[in-house]
Amino acid sequence: MRYRKGITPVVAVVLLIAVTVAGAAVVYNSISGVQSQVTNQRPTLPISGDSVEFESCWGTPGDPSFTIRNTGGQAINVSEIPVRVNKSYLEATTDYTVSQSIVNPQSTFTINVNPGQPFNSETQISLILEEETVSDQCRNLN
């Protein structure tokens, strides 16, 4: 009888599983790296004071809204514009919401200030842009 030298079936199965897990880890690592690069790339569309103009405001002192027009010649990203009421900065999604992220030229977007923010006809709202601040007062709140 000939004796063959080799590895036992148990060792062979363990090696196959180890190679499979290592290969899966390499694939996962490479895919998650590419995905995080794509996720972190937000469109950066410059906004200047010449690009936005307050058009109207409405609502109540506890729940005001503002319509703002992109008066520039290119689309702008308004999803993360810092907003200030009087001298206090508001937190996006907590204190206010924006109707859309990317605004095309000559289109409008709305900022809705969430209830609970102190507002009256003397309150000044400001958009803090890259090079300047654009402000407005909503004098017709009921």
Q: Is the pLDDT of residue 48 over 70?
A: no
- Tell me how many degrees the CA angle 124-141-97 measures, rounded to the nearest 5: 65
pLDDT digits (tens, 9 = 90+) for 80-124: 788 888 888 888 778 888 899 889 999 999 988 887 776 777 788
The pLDDT of 21-37, averaged and rounded, is: 81
Interatomic CA distance for residues 120 and 89, integer angstroms: 17
pLDDT tier, 42 (very low <50, low <70, confident <90, very high otherwise) = very low
Interatomic CA distance for residues 140 and 48, integer angstroms: 27
Let me know: does 68 contact 108? Beta carbons within 8 Å: yes
Q: HSE-up of 70 (CA within 13 Å, CB side)?
A: 21
Q: Which pair of structure tokens corresponds to residue 22?
A: 């290592």
According to CATH, what is the number of the domain 52-137? Answer: 2.60.40
β strands within 23-132, DSSP E: 52-60, 63-70, 76-77, 83-85, 88-90, 96-98, 102-103, 108-113, 124-128
Considering the entire predicted model, what is its pTM? 0.61
Long-range residue pairs from 1-9, CB within 8 A, at least 24 positions apart, any chain: none
Query: Which of 7-16, 36-45, 101-110 is predicted with the least confidence, judged by mean pLDDT?
Result: 36-45
Between residues 113 and 140, which one has the greater pLDDT? Answer: 113
**Which positions ≥6 away from 127 have C-beta within 8 Å?**
52, 68, 81, 82, 83, 133, 134, 135
CA 46, distance to chain mean position in Å, is 15
